[in-house]
Amino acid sequence: MFKNWKIKQFNKRASSPNFKPQEVINSLGIKEGDIIADIGSGGGYYSFEFAKLIGEKGKVFAVDTEQNLLDHIKNEINKHKLTNVETVLIKDNGTALLTNGFDLIFLRNVFHHLPEPFKFFGNIKKYLKLNGRIAIIDYKKYRFNLFRLGKHFVAESEIVDTMTKCGYSISKKFDFLLEQSFIIFKKGS
């Protein structure tokens, strides 16, 4: 029962107009045939939205550390007979993805959970295509609320510093999310 509630909450928050999901998706520049990793896929909201855009020639890898969340996504894949979404359970700091050549690696509200962000982003670089991008959305310290009590936020400067030290540069930065920072990075300078 709690697991189902948790999944519904993940998808409810991801799809909430307060978090402007359609603007986020439009800003990512996803094209038909893209290969995308949705790291920290939660209940799968963004994985399924990406799947609509990439078509049958593309692939979305819904990546998470919790098997019950991936089981929910697998049930939805089977229910809707999707062939362009696959689940990946990660246990090794998230660096063992199933394929190389990602056009986009997407992390929404995940950065603050990473125990070793330098190691993670240093290792994950090898999975990106030459022109591949990493999109990071995370809570910023905005105002008092329950997320801030649990340290579910990270300073935008910390994200930029980490990514720069790992050999990435800012490709685009968006300011339309009130409570979250949203930056797209690319390899190199």
Q: What is the pLDDT along the chain (189 residues), one digit of tens a residue?
A: 446 766 777 777 777 778 899 999 999 999 999 999 999 999 999 999 999 999 999 999 999 988 999 999 999 999 999 999 999 998 765 556 666 789 999 999 989 888 899 999 998 888 999 999 999 999 887 655 454 444 567 889 999 999 999 999 999 999 999 889 999 999 976
Tokens coding 56: 């049958």
pLDDT of residue 161: 95
CA proximity to 160, closest of 151, 152, 168: 168
The domain in which residue 124 lies consists of 2-187
Stated pTM of the model: 0.90
pLDDT of residue 147: 47
CA proximity to 115, closest of 135, 96, 91: 91
pLDDT of residue 1: 47
Strand stretches in 71-146, DSSP E: 85-89, 102-108, 128-139
Q: Does the CA dihedral 5-98-100-162 come out positive or negative?
A: positive
Q: What is the CATH number of the domain that holds 41?
A: 3.40.50.150
pLDDT of residue 17: 79
As for how many domains the chain has, the answer is 1
Q: At what angle do helices 67-79 and 2-15 cross, to 10 degrees?
A: 70
Distance of CA 49 to the CA centre of its chain: 12
Angle formed at CA 34 by CA 30 and CA 38, multiple of 5 degrees = 80
Distance of CA 107 to the CA centre of its chain: 2
Alpha-carbon distance of 183 to 181, in angstroms, equals: 7
pLDDT of residue 113: 85
